[in-house]
Amino acid sequence: MVQFAANLTMLYNEHPFLDRFAAAADAGFRGVEYLFPYDFPADALAEKLRQHGLTQVLHNLPAGNWGGGERGIAIMPDRVQEFRDGVARAIDYAGTLGCKQVNCLVGILPQGGDAVAAESTLTGNLAYAADALAGTGIKLLIEPINTRDIPGFYLNRTKQALDLIAKVGSDNLYVQYDIYHMQIMEGDLARTIEANLARIAHVQLADNPGRFEPGTGEINYPFLFKHLDAIGYRGWVGCEYKPKTTTDEGLGWFAPYKTEPAHA
């Protein structure tokens, strides 16, 4: 059965961040993910996971100046050392949190930027990160993102991600497949997931339009959840959506999948 993880960056954002772990566990989630752990001591986050019986299923590598609009630095030739330092930091956090996969947001190609240099830098950075993470038993993921929400983002389609993985040549590099982003960019969700299941390590969801919870838009999520089970997907599904009202009020879709809280 599909396992769901609450994305604490977007869900329960009516609560202070450290209180969201309890809220997610009380709702029946057994896993959590969020953009970045780096604003908090790793030990404090690990204690929240332990206290509420939660698994940390994913977080991102450091992605530059997020508040300033950066969405990753892996394509930036002049910031390779910063990228490598971020890999080391992510490994430290992931080790403490017991997190077995880390996502790399590759970044926005600057207007007029050199696409050839960006791709060469990205390929080298991913090879470095995949190797460093493999040494600690952590998978490296890359995520295609739609051009509507993040104009100029370098990685936009499943095939582009798979081609990049082939170019890097590492067996520790996978796709993070976000259903919402890929519905906007290419559709054909069920067939694409099935055809590339071996390279998809993590799935995320939101409905379209609006990026709200399942059941608010055009995507047939009950069908997709059954499909994921049928094709043998064994990873997590991260719930990375914007609640249309409050998180709890929008959890009707989750009722068939929830489990009882497992507080320590």
Q: Exactly one of 194, 213, 240, 260 is catalytic; which is it? A: 240
Angle (CA) 246-241-42 rounded to 5° is 95
Question: 262 pLDDT band (50/70/90 cuts)?
Answer: low
Residues 184 and 146: their CA atoms lie apart, in Å, by: 7
Identify whether 186 is a catalytic site residue. no
Q: Exactly one of 14, 47, 119, 143 is catalytic; which is it? A: 143
Q: Is residue 262 part of a domain?
A: no
Identify whether 143 is a catalytic site residue. yes
Sequence-separated (6 or more) residues with CB below 8 Å from residue 204: 7, 143, 176, 177, 178, 179, 180, 237, 238, 239, 240
What is the domain count for the chain?
1
Q: Note every long-range contact of 65-69, with CB atoms under 8 Å and residues 24 or more positions apart, other chains counting.
A: 66/35, 66/36, 69/108
CATH number at residue 64: 3.20.20.150
Q: Is residue 88 part of a domain?
A: yes
Q: Is residue 114 part of a domain?
A: yes
Q: Is residue 199 part of a domain?
A: yes
Residues 51 and 260: their CA atoms lie apart, in Å, by: 15
- The 10s digit of each residue's pLDDT in 37-73 is 999 999 999 999 999 999 999 999 999 999 999 999 9
- The 10s digit of each residue's pLDDT in 178-196 is 999 999 999 999 999 999 9
Q: What percent of the chain has pLDDT over 70?
A: 98
Q: Is residue 181 part of a domain?
A: yes
* pTM for the full predicted model: 0.96
Which structural domain, as residue segments, surrounds residue 220? 3-257
